[in-house]
């Protein structure tokens, strides 16, 4: 299955620096903590989840469930939610991404998007469950909008994260 023609998708990328992974996760956290209001807040995708998914799919040796767990704890503090709520959701999302990372990396970025959307949806569903168990009312269908915007954003987002690893231009390699 892995020998199917991968076209230009499979260009050989340069190795990722660990510092870049940490930097991207930190920036994603800042994006999540931006003080936004109104319509934007219902549409704002969970950038930390997207970043974790990207690294789980593309660097499964470096980023794993433990990364997701730690980022989840930070997001719990930032979002003032019950300690462990985001951690649980991120762990399960990272697990799904790691379990399917070989399959997902075969697909092109565009074809990955709907599957990423499904993983994001699973994560949100877990958060919804923990919220409901805590006694909150159902927050309305808009609650799931961020996973849709996250899906739409995935192609741009993953090509942005891939940019620093792009091989140098041809005349460099020769």
Partner 1 sequence: METAPRFFRHGPSLLARLVFFVMLSLILMAVDTRFKYVAEVRHVLSAVIYPLQKLATAPIAIYDNVSEFFKGHHLAGENAELLQQKLFNQGQLQRLQALEAENAHLRKLLDASERVEGKAVMAEILHIPRDPFNRKVMLDKGSQSGIQLGQAVVDDDGVVGQVTRNYPWVSEVTLITDKDHSVPVQVLRNGLRSVVSGTGKEATLELRYMAGNTDIQEGDTLITSGIDGVYPPGLPVAVVSKIERNPAYVFARVTCTPIAGVGNNRQLLILSMLPSTPEIPPEVIELKPNNKKREKVGVR
Contacts with partner 1 by CB under 8 A lie at 26, 29-35, 37, 41, 44, 61, 64-66, 68-69, 72-74, 77-85, 87-88, 91-92, 95, 98-99, 127, 130-131, 134-137, 139, 143
- Residue in 144, 69, 38 with CA at minimum distance from that of residue 48: 69
Residue 133 C-beta: closest distance to partner 1, Å: 9
Which CB atom, from 78 or from 155, has the smaller least distance to partner 1?
A: 78
**In the bound complex, what is the minimum distance in angstroms from residue 9's beta carbon to partner 1?**
25
Q: Which is nearer to partner 1, 77 or 118 (CB)?
A: 77
Residue 127 to residues 29, 76, 120, 121: CA-CA distances in angstroms?
A: 18, 11, 11, 10
The residue among 108 and 131 lying less far from partner 1, judged by its C-beta, is 131
- What whole-number distance in Å separates Cα of residue 139 and Cα of residue 152? 22
Look at residue 95 and give its three-state secondary structure: helix
Report the distance separating Cα 62 and Cα 55, nearest Å.
8
Alpha-carbon span 88 to 111, nearest angstrom: 27
Closer Cβ to partner 1, 72 or 119, answer by number: 72
| Minimum distance, C-beta of residue 142 to partner 1, in the bound complex (Å) | 9
């Amino acid at each position: 299955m892995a020998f199917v023609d991968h076209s230009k998708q499979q260009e050989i990328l340069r190795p990722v620096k660990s510092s870049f992974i940490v930097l991207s996760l930190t920036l994603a956290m800042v994006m999540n903590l931006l003080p936004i209001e109104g319509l934007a807040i219902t549409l704002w995708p969970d950038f930390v989840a997207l970043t974790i998914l990207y690294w789980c799919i593309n660097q499964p040796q470096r980023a794993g469930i433990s990364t997701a767990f730690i980022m989840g704890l930070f997001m719990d503090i930032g979002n003032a939610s019950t300690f462990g709520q985001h951690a649980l959701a991120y762990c399960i999302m990272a697990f799904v991404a790691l379990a399917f990372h070989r399959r997902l990396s075969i697909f092109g970025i565009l074809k990955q998007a709907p599957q990423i959307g499904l993983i994001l949806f699973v994560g949100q569903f877990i958060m919804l469950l923990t919220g409901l168990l805590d006694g909150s009312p159902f927050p309305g269908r808009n609650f799931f909008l961020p996973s849709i915007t996250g899906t739409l954003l995935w192609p741009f987002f993953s090509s942005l994260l891939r940019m620093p690893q792009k091989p140098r231009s041809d005349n460099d390699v020769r």
